[in-house]
């Protein structure tokens, strides 16, 4: 089969009509305010509160800074239980706060933290649970909250992939104490770089404000040790325009997902992630699992062979955080204590998935996957 003439990546950013972005930037120029919580910032915060169905939302310059700030606001210390199957930012945010990440194994169907294994990891040092809604699939929020309540722990969700996810009509950002969203260029909704924290408790708004703005209260008072986590007006203006394209992008992705499911559904050794009833999905990623024994070739071979066809998939989230050189000496990182994560991370492959792909492109990619078999 002929390779694609142009490289196909796992994603391409939603790029709105440039004239519309320029129009919005004219407003920014007119205001002479480029950052420090101007009109675009305020407008985007209000819009996102509605779209995400959350009572409280504070914008940040990226998701990682937002997560670091959330740990500070919740005054976490000691140990926090999290997942090894995630992007480095999740665990790093803890260590930047002087906290020890304790890695918990994952559920093989959802790839999220296995809520049934959390309690065994709780010690007198544990202050919180930091689960990730991996690839936008919601965690077992009910069970996680029950554990947190019983042991007096905080819950921060890394919802970087979960834009627009709802459980029975409830915004995903309303679960736990605080949730973090990423608005990086690779996300369904983006501001080039950006992020947000969402929360139910209105008391967090001021604390988060200080955490992202040097702790400045007024010209003469600095009341907390904050960072510079502010989203600027150009990012916010871009976000306001991108937001208008999200539903259309989601519809396109829904159609592409249906093609993947139809073309790869019956293929032995290829499986998809579990779907949960009552969940409005994010359509952020489309991930397959390759079982080497049943499929005949490994995930790594599929990844390499697809490159030969000019298709650049990603092995998210390989390697596991627990296997990074900076974490491998932590006590919770052994392969024996994280058997599911260490197995699954060799099987998952994030496929090209963005509205700019044609249905024929996805059909061709699926045929290429089938041709990878020996
Ligand atoms: N928690 C979780 C669970 C996360 O997944 C992330 C970020 C975070 C926290 C932290 O949030 P942020 O601080 O980033 O807001 C990308 C993203 O940079 C990262 O935001 C994301 N997760 C992660 C899963 O993916 P890379 O290193 O894999 O990206 P990169 O540059 O290789 O891009 C992937 C593909 O996208 C490229 O092959 C081509 C395409 N692309 C990328 C960019 C940046 C474009 O077409 N245009 C672009 O501008 O991390």
DSSP letters of 11-75? -------HHHHHHHHHHHHHHT--SSS-HHHHHHHHHHHHHTT-SEEEEESSHHHHHHHHHHHTT
For residue 63, the ligand 1 atom closest to its alpha carbon is 15
In this prediction, residue 94 carries a pLDDT of: 98
Answer whether residue 374 shows pLDDT above 80.
Answer: no
Mind listing the pLDDT tens digit for each residue in 60-117? 999 999 999 999 999 999 999 999 999 999 999 999 999 999 999 999 999 999 999 9
Q: What is the mean pLDDT of residues 279-291?
A: 97
Tokens of 204: 């967090």
Q: What is the mean pLDDT of residues 340-365?
A: 98
> Does residue 149 contact residue 170 with C-beta atoms inside 8 Å?
no
pLDDT band with cut points at 50, 70 and 90 for residue 24? very high
- Average pLDDT of every residue of the chain: 97
Q: Is the peptide bond before 187 cis (omega within 30 degrees of 0)?
A: no
Instruction: Give 162 Cα–ligand 1 centroid separation in angstroms.
Output: 14
* Ligand 1 site-directed mutation target among 9, 13, 60, 87, most atoms within 8 Å of CB: 87
Instruction: Give 332 Cα–ligand 1 centroid separation in angstroms.
Output: 26
132 Cβ closer than 6 Å to some ligand 1 atom = yes
In this prediction, residue 124 carries a pLDDT of: 98
In this prediction, residue 108 carries a pLDDT of: 95
For 205, residues 6+ apart whose C-beta sits below 8 A from its C-beta are 56, 58, 199
Instruction: Give 327 Cα–ligand 1 centroid separation in angstroms.
Output: 21
Closest Cα to atom 38, ligand 1: which residue? 9
Query: How many CB atoms within 10 Å of residue 168?
Result: 8
Percent over 70 (pLDDT), the chain:
100
For 345, residues 6+ apart whose C-beta sits below 8 A from its C-beta are 85, 315, 317, 318, 319, 320
185 Cβ closer than 6 Å to some ligand 1 atom = yes
Which residues on adjacent β-strands are paired with residue 170?
167
Mind listing the pLDDT tens digit for each residue in 212-245? 999 999 999 999 999 999 999 999 999 999 999 9
318 Cβ closer than 6 Å to some ligand 1 atom = no
For residue 312, the ligand 1 atom closest to its alpha carbon is 38
pLDDT band with cut points at 50, 70 and 90 for residue 118? very high
Instruction: Give 211 Cα–ligand 1 centroid separation in angstroms.
Output: 24
pLDDT band with cut points at 50, 70 and 90 for residue 311? very high
pTM exceeds 0.75 = yes
Rounded Cα–Cα distance for residues 128 and 372 (Å): 43
70 Cβ closer than 6 Å to some ligand 1 atom = no
In this prediction, residue 328 carries a pLDDT of: 86
Rounded Cα–Cα distance for residues 155 and 127 (Å): 9
C-alpha to C-alpha distances, 183 to 120, 191, 197, nearest whole angstrom: 34, 6, 11
Closest Cα to atom 16, ligand 1: which residue? 186
Q: What is the mean pLDDT of residues 335-361?
A: 97
For 347, residues 6+ apart whose C-beta sits below 8 A from its C-beta are 289, 290, 291, 292, 299
Tokens of 151: 């042991």
Rounded Cα–Cα distance for residues 67 and 313 (Å): 27
In this prediction, residue 187 carries a pLDDT of: 98
86 Cβ closer than 6 Å to some ligand 1 atom = yes
62 Cβ closer than 6 Å to some ligand 1 atom = yes
pLDDT band with cut points at 50, 70 and 90 for residue 260? very high
Answer positive or negative: Cα dihedral of 81, 84, 86, 90.
positive
DSSP assigned state of 232: P
* Ligand 1 site-directed mutation target among 186, 192, 355, most atoms within 8 Å of CB: 186
Strand positions, DSSP E, the chain = 8-9, 56-60, 79-82, 100-103, 126-130, 154-158, 166-167, 170-171, 178-182, 195-199, 216-218, 221-222, 270-272, 279-280, 286-290, 311-312, 348-351
Q: What is the mean pLDDT of residues 310-329?
A: 96
112 Cβ closer than 6 Å to some ligand 1 atom = no
11 Cβ closer than 6 Å to some ligand 1 atom = yes
In this prediction, residue 274 carries a pLDDT of: 86
Instruction: Give 225 Cα–ligand 1 centroid separation in angstroms.
Output: 28
For residue 67, the ligand 1 atom closest to its alpha carbon is 9
C-alpha to C-alpha distances, 155 to 51, 78, 285, nearest whole angstrom: 22, 14, 24
Closest among 34, 38, 121, 125 to 84, alpha carbons compared: 121
Q: Name residue, tokens 């937001």.
A: 243
In this prediction, residue 249 carries a pLDDT of: 98
Reduced to 3 states (helix: H, G, I; strand: E, B; else coil), residue 155 is: strand
Closest Cα to atom 9, ligand 1: which residue? 89
90 Cβ closer than 6 Å to some ligand 1 atom = yes
């Amino acid at each position: 089969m002929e390779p694609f003439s142009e490289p196909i990546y796992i994603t391409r950013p939603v790029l709105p009509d440039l004239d519309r972005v320029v129009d919005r930037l004219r407003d920014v120029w007119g205001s002479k305010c480029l950052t420090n919580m101007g009109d675009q910032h305020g407008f985007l915060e209000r819009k996102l509160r509605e779209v995400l169905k959350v009572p409280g939302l504070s914008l940040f310059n990226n998701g990682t800074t937002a997560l670091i700030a959330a740990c500070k606001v919740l005054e976490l210390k000691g140990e926090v239980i999290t997942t090894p199957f995630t992007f480095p930012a999740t665990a790093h945010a803890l260590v930047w706060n002087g906290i020890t990440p304790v890695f918990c194994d994952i559920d093989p169907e959802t790839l999220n933290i296995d809520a049934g294994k959390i309690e065994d990891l709780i010690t007198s040092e544990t202050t919180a649970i930091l689960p990730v809604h991996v690839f936008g699939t919601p965690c077992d929020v009910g069970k996680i909250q029950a554990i947190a309540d019983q042991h007096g722990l905080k819950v921060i969700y890394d919802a970087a992939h979960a834009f627009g996810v709802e459980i029975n009509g409830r915004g995903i950002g309303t679960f736990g104490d605080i949730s973090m969203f990423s608005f990086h260029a690779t996300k369904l909704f983006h501001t080039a770089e950006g992020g947000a924290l969402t929360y139910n408790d209105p008391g967090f708004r001021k604390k988060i404000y200080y955490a992202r703005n040097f702790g400045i209260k007024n010209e003469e008072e600095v009341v907390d040790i904050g960072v510079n986590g502010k989203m600027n007006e150009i990012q916010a203006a871009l976000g306001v325009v991108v937001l208008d394209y999200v539903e259309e992008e989601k519809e396109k992705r829904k159609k592409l997902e249906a093609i993947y499911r139809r073309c790869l559904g019956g293929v032995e050794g290829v499986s998809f992630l579990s779907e949960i009833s009552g969940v409005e999905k994010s359509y952020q990623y489309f991930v397959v699992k390759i079982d080497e024994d049943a499929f005949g070739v490994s995930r790594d071979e599929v990844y390499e062979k697809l490159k030969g066809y000019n298709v650049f998939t990603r092995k998210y989230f390989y390697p596991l955080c627990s296997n990074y050189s900076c974490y491998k000496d932590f006590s919770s990182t052994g392969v024996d204590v994280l058997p599911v994560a260490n197995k699954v991370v060799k099987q998952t492959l994030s496929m090209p998935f963005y509205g700019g792909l044609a249905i024929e492109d996805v059909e061709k990619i699926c045929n290429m996957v089938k041709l990878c078999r020996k």
